[in-house]
Amino acid sequence: PLRRRRRAADAAPGLLLLLRARHRRSPARRAPDLAPRRVRPRAPDRRRLLALRGVARRQTGLATRPAVAPPRPPPERDFAGTPYVPVYVMLPLGVVSVKGEVAEADELVAQLRVLKAAGVDGVMVDCWWGNVEAHRPQEYNWAGYKRLFHIIRDLKLKLQVVMSFHECGGNVGDDVSIPLPEWVIEIGKSNPDIYFTDREGRRNTECLSWGIDKERVLQGRTAVEVYFDFMRSFRVEFDEYFEDGIISEIEVGLGACGELRYPSYAANHGWKYPGIGEFQCYDRYLQKNLRRAAEARGHAMWAKSPDNAGHYNSEPNNTGFFCDGGDYDSYYGRFFLNWYAQVLLDHADRVLMLARLAFEGSAIAVKVSGIHWWYKTASHAAELTAGFYNPCNRDGYAPIAQVLKKHGAALNFTCVELRTMDQHEVYPEALADPEGLVWQVLNAAWDAGIQVASENALPCYDRDGFNKTLENAKPRNDPDGRHLFGFTYLRLCSTLFEGPNLPEFERFVKRMHGEAVHDLRA
């Protein structure tokens, strides 16, 4: 018996190893009387989960995010007792037709009565060069505007009038077509260099090139002389409206869309947001100007425009000129961009000098566009192509403010209703920062000691957009108490009177006026 027990004990280790091997190969053949082991569940592989989620997103087109409660909107600020900021409303672009008639006059009067009851101070009207001086030089037809201004005066509203020396119809939001005067178009057929031109030779007929400001190519007159004659005619024709204080401000159109900028991002040339746009200096007059500047600098070889700046819909880092460390910051790049921006400043200087002469004693203003896309990059490419020399290491708006100060003009800036976070959610690739841009421009103007007004860049009917406008109009805790001196709402349309839109707008007007409202969000 003792020997048998020893032999069994010697064999036990081998038997045990055999049983374990069989168990690993065939779990189903485990002895039924053995209690099953508890197996701890394995933690999911995080990398595998992320990969699967990525596949799901690509297959469904949906972002699978964890369900979280939406953040509570911030409490609303009480603007009761704050400075009074007048509110104007832009009238429809085609409110006066080419035939000199007020479009849908009865409906317009009814809408203006509602706006007056809502507390609006006045309206803004575009006086289109293509309507007034349409057929022959220095033959002006102001009949339609006389009828419109009479309606506005009877309703005891104020007037902001825009000297619109550009065409209407080629930009976002344009719902009518008003070309440049016929006689100007005829000149352009034989001399297309009167228009801004891009690298491919495409002409932009929206407005005249600044290269002909001092060139007698418009039937014996220069471009600035044509603008001055138009403004002087308006001042004489509507003298009583100036004397009675009905016309509170003249906004002088200085470029594309009536704004001080090059037409660098024209939709009719294929541009789509957020493209960087293209330089617009290839007409022979601006090219001659560039050659002179290069020779004066002592570098005749710089008399050329960049050949690596991409196209209308490029991104900055896909170009050799605008990428980080690109040619925009080279010796040549700085020379070219300084020249390009100086042409813009010189144009503003010349036209504003004549505007001050034509409208002596009246308030004048200039609109500057809010080009907020690619603002978070080093080069600020979209601003550079538009003529604002504003890379991350230079303030491109202070020189503009100084020119406006020289002529006693106010600065009207756009996009005050936009939020950077909203832009990031919709177009994260645009690297936009409208809030940073607005802050820079407003402070550049205030530091120069000029007045600042603003308008919204896109249609706005919601409380969040109005609240953002209010915050920019009356900055919190500003030690100097600075604020906007006016706001113009874009634009009068039937949508403004639908549903809750009009009550929201009326509430906004009260707060801009410094009045109390009783439904502030806590």
Three-class secondary structure assignment of 187-245: HHHHCHHHEEECCCCCEEEEEECHHHCCCCCECCECHHHHHHHHHHHHHHHCHHHHHCC
Which alpha helices (DSSP H) does 449-517 contain, by range? 463-473, 501-512
Dist. CA 87–CA 19, nearest whole Å: 90
Q: Binding-site residues for substrate, please?
A: 126, 166, 174, 367, 372, 414, 456-457, 491
In a domain, 486, yes or no: yes
Closest CA to 396 of 305, 261, 268, 494: 261
What's the token pair of residue 133?
């001086």
pLDDT at 318: 98
Closest CA to 489 of 462, 454, 516: 454
In a domain, 449, yes or no: yes
Residue for token digits 């410094």? Answer: 514
pLDDT at 61: 41
pLDDT at 27: 42
In a domain, 364, yes or no: yes
Number of domain units in the chain: 1
In a domain, 503, yes or no: yes
Average pLDDT, 10 consecutive residues per value, the chain (522 residues): 45 44 43 42 41 38 52 86 98 93 97 98 98 97 97 98 93 81 98 98 98 98 98 98 98 98 96 98 98 98 98 98 98 98 98 98 97 98 98 98 98 96 95 98 97 96 96 95 97 96 98 96 82
Dist. CA 403–CA 341, nearest whole Å: 13
What's the token pair of residue 291?
């050659």
Burial class (CB in 10 A: 0-12, 13-18, 19+), 430: buried
CB 451 within 8 A of CB 412: no
Amino acid at position 420, single letter: T
Coil vs helix vs strand at 474: coil
In a domain, 351, yes or no: yes
Residue ranges making up the domain that contains 223:
87-276+344-513
* DSSP-assigned beta bridge partners for residue 365: 251, 410
Q: Binding-site residues, please?
A: 126, 166, 174, 367, 372, 414, 456-457, 491
CB 367 within 8 A of CB 251: yes
How much is the pTM?
0.85
Dist. CA 296–CA 498, nearest whole Å: 60
Determine the angle formed by the axes of helices 434-448 and 398-406, rounding to 10 degrees.
Answer: 40
Write the CB contacts of 512 (distance below 8 Å, at least 6 apart in sequence): 79, 84, 85, 86, 87, 470, 473, 487
pLDDT at 57: 37
Question: Long-range pairs for 35-39 at CB < 8 Å and ≥24 separation?
Answer: none
What's the token pair of residue 166?
């550009």
Q: In this structure, what DSSP letter does residue 291 have?
A: H
CB 455 within 8 A of CB 410: no
Dist. CA 473–CA 519, nearest whole Å: 20
In a domain, 5, yes or no: no
pLDDT at 68: 62
Query: Mind telling me the catalytic residues?
Result: 259, 455
pLDDT at 22: 45
In a domain, 496, yes or no: yes
CB 286 within 8 A of CB 213: no
Between the CA atoms of 399, 400, 401 and 406, what dihedral angle is there, to the nearest 10 degrees? 90
pLDDT at 25: 44
Dist. CA 36–CA 56, nearest whole Å: 37
CATH at 355: 3.20.20.80
Cα–Cα distances (Å) from 397 to 104, 255, 354, 371, in that order, read: 40, 16, 22, 12
* DSSP-assigned beta bridge partners for residue 161: 125, 250
Which alpha helices (DSSP H) does 322-380 contain, by range? 331-358
In a domain, 489, yes or no: yes
Closest CA to 470 of 505, 424, 432: 505
What's the token pair of residue 41?
């569940």
**How many CB atoms within 10 Å of residue 364?**
20
Closest CA to 342 of 399, 274, 299, 304: 399
CB 268 within 8 A of CB 197: no
pLDDT at 170: 67
Closest CA to 510 of 478, 463, 475, 451: 463
Question: What are the φ/ψ torsions at residue 108 (nearest 5 degrees)?
Answer: -60, -45
